[in-house]
Amino acid sequence: SQLSSVQRHVEALRSKGVLPANKPWQRGVQLPVSEVKHIPLLGSVSCGAPLLAEEHIEAHVPFSASRLKSSTDQYFFLRASGDSMDKASKPGPIQDGDLLLVHQQPTASVNETIVALIGDYATCKKKKKTSEGWFQLTPRSSNTAHKPRMMLEDFSILGVVEKVIRAPQFG
């Protein structure tokens, strides 16, 4: 009997140990299932001028636990709004409409991309420190209208952006 190309690919994946070896009389393939966490999407965060922070759960986003850096449940998603981080290198460029996976934590290292709360306003920027020791929220943008913001007033860190999930492009 002649094997189809699909059967040949399945057998090759089984021989490499990528797929489990099923009993000969079984049909189909059982794929290993990783644990899925349901992470809340809390709305939008400005990647431009700060927006009023409104914490409310819009939806829950299923996300593979194996893709999270921490085993805690302290994660949330925010939708990016604006273009002040479109040239960010780590965790990557942030475009308007992208989803940001944020690890909730009250501190961050210099050069991390953070979500900061300034009064009632939330914004996503790179955390920097000036030579004089002031903290600064710095955009990484192709738009020269965005400037660093010296943090003379109190601000708090809501979390560190770990991943950028690119918004689908239609057109």
Q: Which residues are catalytic?
A: 84, 125
Task: Give DSSP secondary structure letters for 93-153.
Answer: ---TT-EEEEEE-S---TT-EEEEEETTEEEEEEEEE-TTS-EEEE---S-TT---EE--S
Mapping DSSP to helix (H, G, I), strand (E, B) and coil, where does residue 80 land?
Answer: strand
Cα–Cα distance for residue pair 20/47, rounded to 1 Å:
44
CB 48 within 8 A of CB 83: yes
Cα–Cα distance for residue pair 69/136, rounded to 1 Å:
26
> What are the tokens at 3?
């094997």
